[in-house]
Amino acid sequence: MYWLGINFYTVICTVSVLIFAAGIALRVAVSMLDKSNNIGDTEGCFDDYACSFESVAKRYDIGPDSARKFLIEFGDSGFDNDDSKAHAALRMNEDNDIYGELEDVDIPLFKPL
């Protein structure tokens, strides 16, 4: 197929390579910018502070309604409420749960004398 005397397929092939080259060029340039200008872009994460994991419930590949029901069932335990349903549900949950202990955080808490 020809357009203005040029093979149309050749044009598509050339454009695809140029797009690829442009993607690489932009990625390399932004990586260099990140290293150059974005200083100290790290912060404390979950593993740095979390320990004594009591119980976990997980659900994979579910519909939005099931996810919302999960949130209602297992969310907002309200620690001050001894009758918290969410707290109890999490402890009684048996499906898809993985019980485990996280290692204690290896930073001693500063305790004033």
Partner 1 sequence: MASLCKNCGGNLAFSPKRQALFCNKCGATFKPEDITAEAKELLADVEAPKASDIYGSRGSYDCSIYSCTQCGGDIVINDTEASTICVYCGSPAVVFNRVAKEIRPDGIIPFSVTKDLAQMLIKTHLKKGKFIPSEIKNASLDDIKGIYIPYWIVDCDFHDAVMVKGDVQEGKHKRTTYFAQAGEWTYQNLPCNASLRFNDNIGKKLEPFDYNEARDFDEDYLTGFYSDITDMSPANLRSAVLKRGDDMYREEVIHGLVNATKKSVVNSSPSVRIKEGEEVYLMIPAWFYTFRYKGMPHTILVNGQTGKTVGAMPFDRAKLIALTVAIFIALVFAGLLIFFGPIILLSYLFSPYIVSGFIIAGLTLGGSALRRLKQIRSNMNDTRSGSTFMFAKERQES
| Chain residues 6-35 in contact with partner 1, contact rule CB under 8 A | 7, 9-10, 12-34
Residues in the chain: 113
Looking at 2, 82, 95, 110, which residue binds partner 1 (CB under 8 A)? 110
**99 contacts 105 by C-beta, under 8 angstroms:** no
Q: Give me the 46-75 binding string for partner 1, x by CB under 8 A, dash otherwise.
A: xxxxxxxxxxxxxxxxxxx-xxx-xx--xx
CB 9 to partner 1: min, Å:
7
Q: Which residues pair with 2 in a beta bridge?
A: 7
Which CB, 4 or 107, lies closer to partner 1? 107
CB 61 to partner 1: min, Å:
5
Question: Rounded to 5 degrees, what angle do the CA atoms 27, 28, 33 make?
Answer: 95
Residue 37 Cα to chain centre, angstroms? 25
